[in-house]
Structure 1
Amino acid sequence: MHIAIAGNIGSGKTTLTTMLAKRYGWLPRFESVDYNPYLDDYYKDIKRWSFPMEVFFLKERFRDLLEISKTEQTVIQDRSIYEGVYVFTANNYAMGNLDERDYETYMELFEDMTDSVRYPDLMIYLRSSVSHLVANIEKRGRDYEQRMPLEYLENINMRYDDFIANQYKGRVLTLDVDHLDYQHNPKDFGFVTDKIDRELFGLF
Structure 2
Amino acid sequence: MHIQHRYIVVEGPIGVGKTSLVRKLGESLGSELLLEKAEENPFITRFYQNPRQYALSTQLYFLLQRAHQVQGFRQIDLFQSSHIADFMIDKDRLFAELTLTTDELKLYQQIYQHMTIDAPKPDLVIYLQAPTEVLRERITKRGIDYEQAIKDDYLTRLSELYTRFFYDYDESTLLTVNTQSIDLIDSEQDYQALLDEINNIRSGRHYFNQSSFAY
- Alignment TM-score, normalising by the size of structure 2: 0.84
> C-alpha distance in 2, partners of 1:180/1:47?
35
SS at match of 2:184: coil
Report the aligned-residue RMSD: 1.8
Change (3 A) 1:59 1:34: same
2:99 matches 1:92: yes
> Which residue number in structure 1 is paired with residue 192 of structure 2?
190
Which residue number in structure 2 is paired with residue 77 of structure 1?
85
Alignment of 1:1-204 (within 5 A): 1-72=6-77, 73-85=81-93, 87-93=94-100, 98-100=101-103, 102-114=104-116, 116-166=118-168, 169-199=171-201
Distance change >3 Å, CA 112–CA 172, structure 1 → 2: farther
Give the direction of change, closer, same or farther, for the CA distance of 1:171–1:113 in structure 2 (3 Å limit).
farther
SS in structure 1 of the partner of residue 168 of structure 2: helix
Amino acid at match of 1:15: S
Deviation at 1:173, TM superposition (A): 0.9
Shift in Å, 1:167? 5.3
The 3 A distance-change label for structure 1 pair 200 and 77 is farther
Give the paired residue count. 195
Q: Displacement, 1:33?
A: 1.7
Greater share of residues in helix: 1
Q: Identity over the aligned pairs, expressed in percent?
A: 25
- Structure 1 runs (4+) deviating above 6 angstroms are none
8 Å Cα contact 1:83-1:163 kept in structure 2: no
The letter of the residue matching 1:146 is Q
